[in-house]
Amino acid sequence: MYWRGRHADDRVAMCGVAKVLSGDTRPDYPQLAKEIDDFLERPGAEFRLYGGMRFDLSRNTEQDWFGFPAWRFVLPRFELHQRGPRTLLCCNLIFPEDLAIQEVILEQAHELIFSTASSSISVPKPISRTDNPGFDGWKSQVGWALDAFDREVLQKVVLARRVDLSFDEQPEPIELLHVLQEATPNCFHFLFESNSSSFIGASPERLFFRRGREVISEAVAGTRPRGETSHDDQAYRASLLASEKDQREHAFVRDRIRNVLTNVCQSVAVDEVATEMRLAQGRHLYSRLSGRLEEGVTDLTLLEHLHPTPAVGGEPTEVALHAIDSLEDFDRGWYAGPIGWIGRDSAEFAVALRCGVLHHHTLSLFSGAGLVKGSEPGSEWLEIEQKITDFTKILGLAVTSPK
């Protein structure tokens, strides 16, 4: 596993398993919260459990999604922290359980291999690309959504596409992550392995960050690309901030998060005017929300009620999830789900966006677009293309225009 916060000067590479909590169906949130709290309250160093969840835990999960369970949180056996110029190697031990396997743990420690990143890292170029759906199918899906908006069945739905890239030579997941991280500053970077698959991403979007009883969340919705020139870049920025459609799409997300936090916080502060989140390859409308949690509200409470926001699902939520399940011809799995870590006194989760699964010789990329009344198939297709350029640009691929 690997985790780096969006602005944190702390990178964590992890391997091995000291403790794992996982399941193949929707968790019992209160019971899981108690189990996690009981474990984290053990005396000693402050542990962090790293993991994630599926986008839709109510969906039938019997079919395997690249070897990833419905949800999983792991205390790694070994953690390598890099904080600025300092590097710290940690071995997590659980007592009394680990007393019986101390010789095994010592052997594992001796077998650890450390290597510095080579300056000659190169990622192979793919030999083929498959879009699901293609543009004709995408037009049909957007048309269905526009009709649902006209009938006032839906106000917003986020539909996604899956792009499969095939390679002659299997890319190394660590090298792919390294190049992706260099190309995408100011993002959450992550890698989670399961069996022979690696889930890799560079997400700009925080679901929540908690320190003590203080919690911060974000509304991120509405998209424009970066411009090739300073003049073009400013024009895209002005277009985004002035767009009634994008502001409306953004408001659905902000209002939903506001409602959730109001129910679990003593007080809530909200950015009522959206500003710009500027990234290397694009920009979004952004609003910050914060509050002080009521006693008894756990990180699992926040996960259960905050996810999915209308930034990845839609409005109304249940109708949008049903539409996504009916229209998308692939399983989102962990894409667009919460991903991050839980500690004793703090926790942080991102939304798993701008991500892909490397499985043998295929890299499957996932990205979506928020549809509201006034959306147009061609522009929404290009929006998704712009979002996956974090990956395709480092692979030497150009944006694919709708046909």
Give me the active site residues, please: 156, 205
101-126 burial string, b = 16+ CB within 10 Å, else e? eeeebeeeeeeeeeeeeeeeeebbeb
- Cβ-based neighbours of 129, under 8 Å, separated by 6 or more: 163, 164, 165, 166, 397, 400
SS3 28: coil
Token representation of residue 283 = 């920009």
Sequence letter at residue 113:
I
Cα 156 to its chain centre, rounded Å, is 20
What is the spatial distance between Cα 139 and Cα 375, in angstroms, rounded to a whole number? 11
Q: In 10 A of CB 373, how many CB atoms?
A: 16
18-33 burial string, b = 16+ CB within 10 Å, else e? bbebebeebbeeeebb
- Cβ-based neighbours of 186, under 8 Å, separated by 6 or more: 6, 7, 204, 279, 280
Judge whether 23 and 291 are in contact, CB under 8 Å: no
What is the spatial distance between Cα 198 and Cα 304, in angstroms, rounded to a whole number? 25
In angstroms, the Cα distances linking 259 to 269, 274, 285, 387 are: 12, 17, 19, 28
Burial of 356 (0-12, 13-18, 19+ CB in 10 A): buried
What is the spatial distance between Cα 313 and Cα 298, in angstroms, rounded to a whole number? 23
Burial of 351 (0-12, 13-18, 19+ CB in 10 A): buried
Judge whether 138 and 146 are in contact, CB under 8 Å: no
Token representation of residue 37 = 């709290």
What is the spatial distance between Cα 182 and Cα 185, in angstroms, rounded to a whole number? 7
Dihedral pair phi/psi, residue 381, rounded to 5°: -60, -45
